[in-house]
A and B are shown apart, each in its own frame.
Chain A
Amino acid sequence: MGKLFNNRTGIMFILLLAIAFPLVFADNRYVLYIMTTCFIFIIAVYGMNLLAGFTGQLSLAHAGFFAIGAYSVGILTTRYELNFWLALLVAMVITCVAGLLLGVIALRTREHFFAIYTLIVGYLIYLLIDKWDSLTGGVRGLIGIPVPDAIGPIEFTSATSMYYLVLFFLVISIFIGVRIVHSLTGRTYIAIRNSEELAQTLGINTRTNKLVSFVVSIAYAGLAGGLYASLTRFIGPEIAGLEMVFNFLIYLIVGGLGTLTGPIVGTMIFVWLTQFLQSFQEYRMLIFGPILVMIVIFYPAGLAGAYFSLKIKFDEARKKRATKQEQKNSLESSKIQSREVS
Chain B
Amino acid sequence: MELLFQQLLNGLTLGSVYFLVGIGLTLVFGILHVPNFAHGSLYLIGGYVTLMIMKSAGVHYFIAILLSIIVVALLAVLMERLVFNPLRNAPPIHDKIAAIGLVLFFQAFVSLVWGNDYHRMITPFGDAVKIAGISTSPQRLLVIAVAVIVVVLLYLFLKKTMIGASIMAMAQNRDGAFLVGINTNIVAMMTFAISGVLAAIAASLASPINLVFPGMGHLVILKAFVVVIIGGMGSIPGAIIGGLILGISESLGATYLSNDYKDMIAFLLLILIMTARPKGLFAKEAY
Contact = CB atoms under 8 A, between A and B. Distances in A.
A253 B103 CA distance: 16
| Interface residues of A, dominant DSSP | helix
A159 to B, nearest CB: 31
A152 interface: no
Interface stretch (B178-186, B243-251, B260-268): B260-268
A283 B113 CA distance: 10
B150 interface: no
Given A121-B271, A288-B104, A52 B112 contact: no
Interface stretch (B48-56, B86-94, B204-212): B86-94
B87 A297 contact: yes
B222 interface: yes
Contact of A283 (B37, B90, B111): B111
A249 B97 contact: yes
Contact of A113 (B98, B104, B111, B274): B274
B109 interface: yes
Contacts of B233: 112-113
A296 B87 contact: yes
A192 B65 CA distance: 47
Contacts of B109: 286
Given A112-B96, A296-B98, A289 B105 contact: yes
A58 B107 contact: no
Contacts of B111: 282-283
Contact of A127 (B91, B267, B274): B267
Most buried by B among A52, A109, A111, A297: A297
Interface in B56-104: 83, 86-87, 90-94, 96-98, 100-104
Given A116-B35, A296-B87, A290 B105 contact: yes
Given A112-B35, A131-B260, A286 B112 contact: yes
B239 interface: no
A56 interface: yes
B119 interface: no
B237 interface: no
Q: Which of B101, B229, B270, B271 has the most A CB atoms < 10 Å from its CB?
A: B101
B263 to A, nearest CB: 6
A116 B271 CA distance: 11
B229 A296 contact: no
A48 B93 CA distance: 13
Given A58-B96, A113-B278, A113-B279, A293 B260 contact: no
A119 B100 CA distance: 11
B225 interface: yes
Give the interface size class of chain A: 35 or more
A246 interface: yes
Which range contains the number of B residues in contact with the other chain? 35 or more
A323 B197 CA distance: 60
B93 A52 contact: yes
Contacts of A120: 222, 225-226, 267, 270-271
B226 A290 contact: no
Contacts of B153: none
A130 B201 CA distance: 31
A99 to B, nearest CB: 15
A192 B108 CA distance: 36
B92 A289 contact: no
B270 A249 contact: no
Contacts of B103: 246, 289
A65 to B, nearest CB: 16
A21 interface: no
B229 A113 contact: yes
B195 to A, nearest CB: 16
A242 interface: yes
A283 B112 contact: yes
A285 B90 contact: no
A112 B28 CA distance: 13
Contacts of B229: 113, 116
A284 interface: yes
Contacts of A116: 35, 225, 229
A105 interface: yes
B97 A253 contact: yes
Nearest to B95: A296
A292 B278 CA distance: 30
B267 A123 contact: yes
Interface in A197-236: none
Contacts of A249: 97, 100
A293 B102 contact: yes
Contacts of A290: 101, 105
A293 B92 contact: no
Given A113-B280, A117-B270, A286-B105, 13 more contacts: A105-B271, A115-B35, A117-B274, A120-B271, A124-B268, A124-B271, A127-B263, A249-B97, A285-B104, A285-B105, A289-B108, A292-B100, A293-B98
20 contacts: A58-B96, A58-B97, A113-B233, A115-B35, A115-B96, A116-B35, A120-B271, A124-B264, A127-B261, A127-B264, A128-B264, A246-B104, A283-B112, A289-B108, A292-B101, A292-B104, A293-B83, A296-B87, A297-B83, A297-B86
Interface of B: 29, 35, 37, 83, 86-87, 90-94, 96-98, 100-109, 111-112, 218, 222, 225-226, 229, 233, 260-261, 263-264, 267-268, 270-271, 274-275, 278-280
The 7 closest A-B pairs by CB, nearest first: A289-B105, A292-B101, A285-B108, A289-B104, A293-B101, A285-B104, A112-B35
